[in-house]
A and B are shown apart, each in its own frame.
Chain A
Amino acid sequence: MSARRIAVLAAVAACLSSVACLEETPSLRPLFATSIRVPEIEGHWVTSDGERVQFVKVEDGYELLLPGWELRASHQKERATLRARVRFGRLSDQLLADFSAVSPSRDTETSSGDTDGVSFLGLWPVHVFARVSASEGRLEIARLDSEWFLKAIRSGQIQLRHEVLSDEDILVTASTAQLQATFAEYAYHPDMFEEPEAFTRTGANQ
C-alpha cells in the first residue's frame, strides 16, 4: 500500500462523515456539466451519529457544507467551513450526484472567508460520484463502491478510459458522455454503490 494511500486513508478515517470521503477512483471529468434542481435536498441534515451536512443552492448546482470541518486559513485567524460543489442529474431514473472541489478562483470570487488557497496546492479538482435518494425528511447517499468499480474497469467489464497510477489507483479520463452511458447502464447494479449513509432533516441550530 502506497504511503500516499495510507495517508489518504488516515484522513478518511478522520472524516466527519462518509460524504466527506469521496475521493477514491476519481474522474477527471464531470458526470454532469449542469445540475438539475433538487429542492427536497436543500437545507440541513444530520446522521444518527450527529454528523451534519448542509446543501445550499448556488448558481451552477449546489454547495455541500460540512460544518464539523472548520479550517483555519494559514495566515489568518479566521476559520471557515469545508465545502464542495455538487451537481445532480438523473440517469435511468436514478438521482446521481457529482462532487468536486470548489476551485480556488471561485473561492476568491465568492468566498465568505474560506481557505486561503493553500488547501488546493498540488491538488487538482476531480469528480467523485454517488447515488442519492432524497425525500422530505430523509436523505440517503450511497458512495460509488470504488473497489468494485476499479475491478470492473481493470477486468474490462466496464470500459472507461483511464490512467493507471499504481496497483491501487486509477484516474478515470473518460468523457462526460461515456460516464453517463456507464452510470445509466449500471445505475441499478447491486455492487455499483456502497450501503447508503442515512441523514434526517434537522434545523440550522439543532
Chain B
Amino acid sequence: MLRHGFLPLAFALTSGACFNQAPSIHPLFVDTVTVPVDGRWHTEEGPWHPDRDLMTFERRDDHYELDYRSQECKQDDCSVRFDVRFGRLSGRLFADFTLHDGVPNDGRNQIGSWPVHAFARVELTKDRLEFSVLDRDWLRGAMEHRLLSLKHENADGDVFLTASTRDLQRVLTEWANHPDAFGSTTTFSR
C-alpha cells in the first residue's frame, strides 16, 4: 500500500507505470564511467515525503551499486538495491538504473515480472545530485510525430523500449539537451 514512506526517486526512475518513465529492455550503458558519486546522499524533507530518503552509492567492477531506503529503514530487507551505470552523451552525464541482479533486495521472486532499465539525465556537483528521468509522454509524442525513431512496443498503452543499446545512445545523444525530454527532477544532498 502506498503511503508516505515510498521511494519517490526509485519510482520515478524505475517504475514504468509511474512518473512518466519509459522502461527499456536493454541498457543505455553496459559499463560505467567513474564519477564522484560514492557515499551517502539524502532527499530533503517535504510534504510528499516527510521522511528523508537515503541513497548510498558504492563502486563495483563495471557499475555502481545503489542502496535506496527511507530514513526509517534499518534493515537490508526494506531497502532497494540498484545497479547504476553512468555515461556521457553530448557532454552530459546520464545514468542507467536496473534492479540489482534483477530481483528485489530480499531475494523474493516476482510472479510475472521482468527487470527493466530506466534512464535519467544527471547533474552532479560536490554536494548536490539531480536526476531527471526520460519523460514517457514526451518520448511517445516524439515517436508519434516521427521526430525520432526508436524501436519499441506498445503494451497496454505504455511505450516499452526494445531498441538496442547503440540506438538508445544514438537517440539520447541527439536529444540530450532538449528541455522537454527529461523531467521529474529529484534532488539529493550530501
* A interface residues with partner B (beta carbon < 8 Å): 3-4, 6-8, 10-12, 14-15, 20-23, 26, 28-29, 64, 69, 71-76, 78, 82-85, 99-101, 103-105, 107-108, 111, 113-128, 163, 165, 171, 173
Contacts and interface: CB of A to CB of B under 8 A. Distances in A.
Contact of A101 (B26, B113, B116): B113
A75 B109 contact: no
Contacts, number: 168
B17 A105 contact: yes
A88 B113 CA distance: 19
**By CB atoms of chain A within 10 A, which of B2, B7, B70 has the most?**
B2
B112 A126 contact: yes
A116 B5 contact: yes
Contact of A23 (B25, B69, B99, B114): B114
Contact of A118 (B80, B114, B155): B80
A76 B70 CA distance: 11
Interface of B: 1-7, 10-11, 14-18, 23, 25-26, 51, 69-70, 72-73, 77-80, 82, 97-99, 101-104, 107-116, 118, 153, 155, 160, 162
B10 A74 contact: no
A8 B109 contact: yes
B69 to A, nearest CB: 8
A124 B116 CA distance: 6
B114 A82 contact: no
B113 A125 contact: yes
